[in-house]
Structures are given as structure tokens and as C-alpha cells.
DNA sequence: TGTACATCAGTGAACGCGCGTTCACTGATGTAC
DNA sequence: TGTACATCAGTGAACGCGCGTTCACTGATGTAC
């Protein structure tokens, strides 16, 4: 990877610079407010230059979304690693990774979920792969606990809870004072409660209230994980 | 309320017509894509006419958000009515009302949460009142169950789950085929699980696993509520 | 009931702006010989 | 190693467009007398 040479006539790495600029702009103005000309300006290049690398504005937006999905997938997969030893801790890491991604990469996250605006739900790529991993994770966690759990429902609930917390937090609607109301804490406890609570819903009717052992390892993650610091972005 | 007289020089009810047009446009294009000129066009009026009723584009947007909050509050409060007889059913109605509002009034919902875009989190009105009602509802439901529940956390989790399901559903990311994965079902079961599961988290450590009676009335709402039909909008 | 007039609520033309995109061009790069 | 030339990756000027907003205006309405 050669470093940017900015002095010459040629940029050297304009494509990457445009993607980086677009990420930043999408984070600031949203996918609708994002502007190709402003991205060119950020890359210190004329307004026509981007057309050497992208067909049009939408193509750059789509490229950002594509990379966002890839990076998202990479991080969540990495978080799930080691799940065979401790599925609860791995799932906990996955949740942390989800919120961290949404917080640290708002440009990616916004592009992924809103590429083309709420109206254009057509040919946009979907997070199938990543979401499949989430669902598999839920199954693996729920199954050994011996609970009658609909893993698919649980996966969507966990996803919605993560997405809801991420967007409410980004919108500044969660109180940042109280440590107990931080998104990561709400997600950890929330998913734990979803897993525990879901098992009781219908099996309690069938099995008539046998005592349940809560999975303790899911409740308390290893404290002091690194990478949880506030990023200055 | 006099009906619109469209033939004359005066519109008759332009302010209302503009708000209605803006709601529709925000639903279609989002709060950023929404256009004052297009709203005027929809109201069959010149581009300058809106300035007789609103100071600028943002003022119309803000008015839509304001009405959205009011209507939202009205519906959720109505859903909560009768909570003293059956808090579980009332809370269930509240959840249904939340999702129904987000689905049937996407213009209001988008304006409420994104007024001014994700960057302008400044002077926007916040759903304090409504959210306070949600929190009070959680407390009232959780308390008689005798569970050691942090009602505030639970309220935020329920909110995030509702918001997440509403936005994922609006983005077309939830599978619409499976009846078990409908937003309303996921929310009902999810909130039920959150309430059941949250109680066990720390009280199970303190009280050492006394058997808990799940609140059955929370699990199953009265079926066949009217107003739950698909709205053709 | 009729008239003069103030006020209200529109019109339509115009403005400046920023955007997406195109086009002929030109400087830089790399390669064949 | 040096030169001719094709190709690549930029420039900058220009376009058409739609937007937000302003402004002088004008038709409709309502009220005082």
C-alpha cells in the first residue's frame, strides 16, 4: 500500500480516498444528504474526477455499503470465534461488536441500512450472511440450555434490539449519564433476558413449571475487555 | 371543519393540506429528501404559497414532527387505558399501538426520529412524555409480579426492541412470510421474555431460585382485536 | 343593504445556489523498440 | 539508456435541473359605516 502522493497531477489512490470521504460524509449527513461533489472536495480533486472510478453517485454509495457489510461480517465473525469453548461469552462479544461497529462506523452503518433511502428497498444487498451467523449463534447458545426456544425468533429479536439500541443511541435518545443504561449494558442484559425468558414461554405450559437453571456464564461477561474505550470520532 | 374548496383563489385549508402533503412526502423520501416545493405542488398551490403558513422548510418539518409526537402520545395513552384491570393486556396493546403507528404513519415516525437528520440532534423535541408512560407501564407490570426488575432498563429495552422492529420491518428486512416472525408477534413475545428473563438475572442469585409463576395474562392477548387489519397505505 | 377599504392569502417571475453529469482537454505514466 | 507513443487519470468549464426563498403584485374576504 503506497502512501498518498498529493503533490502530483495524479492522486495516487483516489478511489480509496473517495470511499473514505463518502464514509465520513454519510456519517455526517446521512446517505441522502451525502454529495459526490463534496466527496471530491474532501479528496482535494475536481468534481469530475470521481467519474474515473465510479459510474455515478449511487455507485460510490453502493461501494460504501458493500464494504460496510464486509467489514461488519468480518468483525462479527471474529467476535464469534471461540464459541465452542464458551458460546455465551462469544455471543456477548458479538453484541458488543455490533454496537461498537454501529458507533464507530456510522457511515458504514447508515449506508448499509439506508442505501438508496427508505423508498428504494429494491436491489440493495442484505446482511444475510451475517444474520445467518447470528441465528446460528443463538441456536448454539439456546440448545445446550435445553430450552424450548425458537432460535429464529430469538435471532430477529436480538437483531432488532441491537439495531434499536444502536439507532436510538446514535440519535442521542438514550441517557448517557447512567452507566446501567449504556447501550452495551442494555443489550447484554436484554439478550440474556430474551434467552432466559423465551424458554419459559411455552415450555412452562407444556412442562408445567419445572425449575429452570439460568445460564450463568451468559449473564456476566469477562470484565475489562479492551477496545471498549470511547473512540474519538 | 369546512371541506376544501379548491376552485377559488384562496385554498381554504392550505396549512392542513401542506402538513398532509409533507407527511406523505416524508414517508416516501425521508425527512432529508422531503421538499417544500413538492409539498406545494401536492397541495395544488404555487411554490411561494407555503410561506404564508410556515416560516421555512424546517418549520413545516418541525410541525409534522410535533403532530407526530402528539398523535403518538394520544394513541399510546389510549392503549394503556384500562391498565388497572389488566396491566399485561394494556402493555400488549401499547406495543401493538407502537408498531401500528410506525407502520401506518411512516411520515410522522420518520419526522419524529430524524427531524433535521442524524447530525442535528440539537433542539429537537423528545418523546419524554410518551416514554415516561412506557416506563410507568413497565413498573406497574413488573412490580406485582414480585420480580427484582430495573424498570428503567426494561423500558429502554422495550423501546429499543419496538423501534428496532419498526425500522427493520419498514426497511423490508424482516421476512413477511412467516407469521411467527411478524413484528407484532416478535414484540409481544420479546417483551414478555424481557420481563420474565430480567427478573431472574440477579434475584436468582439473591433468592436462590425460588419457583416463579409466569404471568399468563401477559403472554396471551385477547385475540381478534379490531384495527389490526392491514391498512392500505 | 350597499359601499369603501384594510387585510388576508394567494400568484408568478425571478434570484442564487449546489448538485450530478458531460466533454474536450492535458499532464503524467509506462512500455515497445 | 533514450525516444515515440498509447493509455491512464486528472482538469476546468459548461449544461440543465430542482431547490429554497424573495418580491411586487393581485384577487378574495371581511368589516366599518
User: Cell 424546517 belongs to which residue?
Assistant: B58
Banded model confidence at residue A123, pLDDT cuts 50, 70, 90: very low
From B158-162, B184-188, B200-204, the region with the lowest mean pLDDT: B200-204
Burial class of A210 by CB neighbour count within 10 A (0 to 12, 13 to 18, 19+): exposed
- pLDDT at residue A109 is higher than 70: yes
CA contacts within 13 A on the Cβ side of A187: 28
Instruction: Inspect the interface and report whether the beta carbons of A28 and B160 lie closer than 8 Å.
Output: no
* Strands of A152-227, DSSP E: none
- pLDDT at residue B215 is higher than 60: no
Contact B81, B125 (CB under 8 A): no
Q: Tell me, what's the pLDDT at A48?
A: 98
d(CA A75, CA B18): 45
d(CA B72, CA B142): 24
Contact B60, B71 (CB under 8 A): no
d(CA B223, CA A85): 43
Q: Which nucleotides of C are covered by protein (CB under 7 A)?
A: 9-14, 18-24, 27-29
- DSSP code of residue A221: P
Q: What is the pLDDT of residues B68-86, one digit of tens each?
A: 989 998 999 999 999 889 9
- pLDDT at residue A204 is higher than 70: no
Q: Alpha helices, DSSP H only, in chain B?
A: 14-33, 36-42, 57-80, 87-104, 106-114, 128-142, 151-170, 183-206, 216-219
Banded model confidence at residue A134, pLDDT cuts 50, 70, 90: confident
From A63-72, B65-74, B142-151, B197-206, the region with the lowest mean pLDDT: B197-206
Q: Which residue has the higher pLDDT, A143 or A175?
A: A175
- pLDDT at residue A214 is higher than 60: no
C-alpha angle with apex B47: B43 to B52, nearest 5 degrees?
A: 85
Banded model confidence at residue B128, pLDDT cuts 50, 70, 90: low
Q: Which residue has the higher pLDDT, B219 or A28?
A: A28
| A:154-213 residues touching chain B, CB 8 A cutoff | 156-157, 159-165, 167-168, 170-174, 178, 180-181, 185-186, 189-190, 192-198, 200-201, 204, 209, 211-213
Banded model confidence at residue B143, pLDDT cuts 50, 70, 90: low
Which residues neighbour B60 within 8 Å (Cβ) at sequence distance 6 or greater? Answer: B18, B19, B22, B36, B39, B50, B54
Q: What is the mean pLDDT of chain A?
A: 78
Highest mean pLDDT among B18-22, B214-218, B225-229: B18-22
Q: What is the mean pLDDT of chain B?
A: 78
- DSSP code of residue B43: T
Contact B130, B69 (CB under 8 A): yes
Q: Which nucleotides of D are covered by protein (CB under 7 A)?
A: 9-14, 18-24, 27-29
Residues of A in contact with B30 (CB under 8 A): 32, 117-119
Diameter over CA atoms, chain B: 76
Q: Tell me, what's the pLDDT at B2?
A: 36
Residues of A in contact with B174 (CB under 8 A): 156
- pLDDT at residue B201 is higher than 70: no
- pLDDT at residue A57 is higher than 90: yes
Q: Tell me, what's the pLDDT at B4?
A: 41
Residue A10, CB, less than 7 Å from strand D?
Answer: yes
User: Cell 433542539 belongs to which residue?
Assistant: B123
**Selection from A25, A94, A104, A92 nearest residue A61 by Cα:** A25
Contact B138, B151 (CB under 8 A): yes
Q: Tell me, what's the pLDDT at B8?
A: 63
Question: What does the buried/exposed string (b/e) look like for A141-167 if buried means 16 or more CB atoms within 10 Å of the residue's CB?
Answer: bbeebebebbbbbbbbbbbbbbbbbbb
Q: Tell me, what's the pLDDT at B130?
A: 67
Banded model confidence at residue A105, pLDDT cuts 50, 70, 90: very high
* Cα B28 to the center of its chain, rounded Å: 18
Q: What is the pLDDT of residues A165-175, one digit of tens each?
A: 999 999 888 88
**Interval B147-166 mean pLDDT:** 88
Q: Cα distance from A52 to chain B (closest Cα, Å)? A: 27
d(CA A143, CA A150): 10
Q: Tell me, what's the pLDDT at B226?
A: 33
d(CA A122, CA B131): 34
d(CA A117, CA A123): 12
Query: Which three cell numbers mark B139?
Result: 413498573
Q: Tell me, what's the pLDDT at A113?
A: 81
Banded model confidence at residue A110, pLDDT cuts 50, 70, 90: very high
Taking each helix axis from N to C terminus, what angle separates A14-33 and A57-80, rounded to the nearest 10 degrees? 100
Name the pTM for this structure: 0.81
Residue B54 has phi, psi (to 5 degrees) of -135, 145
- pLDDT at residue B173 is higher than 50: yes
Amino acid at each position: 500500500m503506497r502512501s498518498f502522493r498529493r503533490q502530483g497531477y495524479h492522486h495516487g489512490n483516489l478511489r480509496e480516498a473517495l470511499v473514505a470521504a463518502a464514509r465520513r460524509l454519510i456519517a455526517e449527513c446521512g446517505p441522502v444528504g451525502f454529495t459526490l461533489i463534496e466527496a471530491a472536495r474532501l479528496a482535494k480533486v475536481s468534481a469530475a474526477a470521481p467519474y474515473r472510478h465510479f459510474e455515478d453517485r449511487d455507485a460510490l454509495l453502493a461501494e460504501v455499503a458493500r464494504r460496510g457489510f464486509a467489514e461488519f461480517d468480518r468483525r462479527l465473525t471474529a467476535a464469534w470465534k471461540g464459541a465452542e469453548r464458551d458460546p455465551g461469552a462469544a455471543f456477548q462479544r458479538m453484541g458488543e461488536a455490533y454496537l461498537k461497529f454501529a458507533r464507530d462506523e456510522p457511515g458504514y452503518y447508515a449506508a448499509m441500512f439506508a442505501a438508496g433511502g427508505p423508498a428504494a428497498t429494491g436491489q440493495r444487498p442484505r446482511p444475510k450472511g451475517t444474520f445467518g451467523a447470528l441465528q446460528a449463534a443463538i441456536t448454539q447458545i439456546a440448545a445446550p440450555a435445553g430450552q424450548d426456544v425458537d432460535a429464529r425468533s430469538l435471532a430477529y429479536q436480538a437483531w432488532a434490539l441491537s439495531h434499536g439500541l444502536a439507532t436510538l443511541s446514535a440519535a442521542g435518545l438514550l441517557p448517557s449519564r447512567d452507566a446501567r443504561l449504556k447501550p452495551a449494558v442494555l443489550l447484554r442484559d436484554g439478550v440474556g433476558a430474551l434467552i432466559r425468558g423465551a424458554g419459559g414461554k411455552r415450555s412452562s405450559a407444556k412442562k408445567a413449571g419445572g425449575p429452570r437453571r439460568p445460564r450463568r456464564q451468559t449473564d456476566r461477561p469477562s470484565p475489562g475487555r479492551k477496545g471498549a474505550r470511547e473512540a474519538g470520532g
